Amino acid sequence: MSEGGEWRNNLHHYIDGRWIEAGAGGTLEIVDPAEESGCGTLALGGEADVDDAVRAARAAFETFGCSTLAARKQLLERIIECYSARRAELADAVRREMGAPAWLAAGLQVDLGLAHLRSAREVLDRYAFEHDAGRSRIVSEPIGVCALITPWNWPLNQIACKVAPALATGCTMVLKPSELAPFSATLFAEILDEAQTPAGVFNLVHGDGATVGSALSRHPDVDMVSFTGSTRAGVQVALNAAPTIKRVSQELGGKSANLILRSADLEAAVVDGVRTIMLNSGQSCNAPSRMLVPRERLAQASDYARRAAQAIAAGPGAPGTQITIGPVASRAQFEKIQGLIRRGMEEGATLVAGGPGRPDGVERGFYVRPTVFADVHNDMTIAREEIFGPVLVMIGYDSEEDAIAIANDTPYGLAAYVQGEPGEARRVAARLRAGQVVLNGASLDTDAPFGGYKQSGNGREWGEHAFAEYLETKAIVGA
């Protein structure tokens, strides 16, 4: 369907193994954030499309829910092969739909999706779907029809980390990707079709959250909703799902602390922290957006952060020796970030680097200047709200106890970061209220569970822990 880049015209849903012409909800122009110009069209679905997709998934579950482990392994292997063969197309799609620089689109954006597919296949080799407990046999069975609602910031990562465990456990599904980033989702559906996924097992309905997302989350024949997005939207998903008592697994917002201990190499820790928050233009729910530094070293740390931020170029055609980041995803996101930067200045934070407006020399595109604030107090707006852009706030602390209290003083709890002597870092990590704590710049681990405490959600994704979200537990008692 996408031959010659036709994935830019998303005028079909994928339901019951067939491409179905869409248009019940009208069309939406997809905007390339780097150019601020149209780069494709999306046909929006409606409740009737959701009903058709759920009906197909329900019918397919009667067979796929009883499929053998060997069959599901073979299916994942075919999907991995087809995905790998279309890496270049996938990278181009991500680059267009969210403005990701070529190095990021072809690298992490595509690679993470593949990593989750491979991880699910590997977990199947060791996962115990049955075990004995006392006089009973405990059996884990697929939960049924799953609604998968994904965001725009890491589109392939978020699609694959839901679809892969759902397939591996024998569930059927309906995917609603973000209407801002539909290209990669269309390609992903083509890949599953090419891999001969049984009809109805995977279905794709494009549309917005208010229509398609709401219809899926309240649908009586959907057994489980896996949602990634804002905490505000997550609350609405949970409310929609409540009357049917379906399972809801959510990965929501974050305002993660990066706690630099006195035992850390300050310069290395600060530079790593700046580079990490700027990755993907700050559009990561687990971004280390609050950097906590010993108060007596805050001025020195601010200088390191200023230089690190100034070495990061936002904009097209940046010099090759510099680290480059792309635009943020939309005009609305750009304007929100600009407002929060101005709010930080108004509330008295010290602007160390960046600031309002586009980077120098950039005339178009939703590019945000890599921005760093120092002398931030944890009650300031920029320390409380998830900015979701390339904006770092630096907060001074007086003691380890003070640092831990500041780190935990947030409604979120998705991730945290600690840098310092390993034993000390592990001790501090144990006291942080976050679902994942990264020590000393450790690299991403797709086998580690990912999910949050508090208003960052519930449930876990990635690796073996993701399987539990898609399984029901049955006890068979007696002989």
- Residue 340 identity (one-letter amino acid): L
Tens-digit pLDDT profile for residues 316-343? 755 554 678 999 999 999 999 999 999 9
Handedness of CA 260, 261, 262, 265 (dihedral sign): negative
Polymer length in residues for the chain: 479
pLDDT in the model for residue 3: 45
- In the chain, where does the domain assigned CATH 3.40.309.10 lie? 257-442
- Is residue 37 classed as helix, strand or coil in its secondary structure? strand
Cα(48)–Cα(24) distance, integer angstroms: 8
Nearest to 391 by CA among 435, 447, 345: 345
Cα(330)–Cα(134) distance, integer angstroms: 56
Q: What topology is assigned to 6-252 in CATH? A: Aldehyde Dehydrogenase; Chain A, domain 1 (3.40.605)
Measure Cα distances from 474 to 81, 142, 479 in Å: 34, 11, 15
Are 471 and 123 spatial neighbours (Cβ–Cβ below 8 Å)?
Answer: no
By annotation, the residues acting in catalysis are: 251, 285
- In the chain, where does the domain assigned CATH 3.40.605.10 lie? 6-252
CATH architecture of 257-442: 3-Layer(aba) Sandwich (3.40)
pLDDT in the model for residue 11: 83
Rounded mean pLDDT of the chain?
Answer: 95
pLDDT < 70 regions, the chain:
1-6, 23, 317-322, 479
pLDDT in the model for residue 22: 81
pLDDT in the model for residue 2: 47
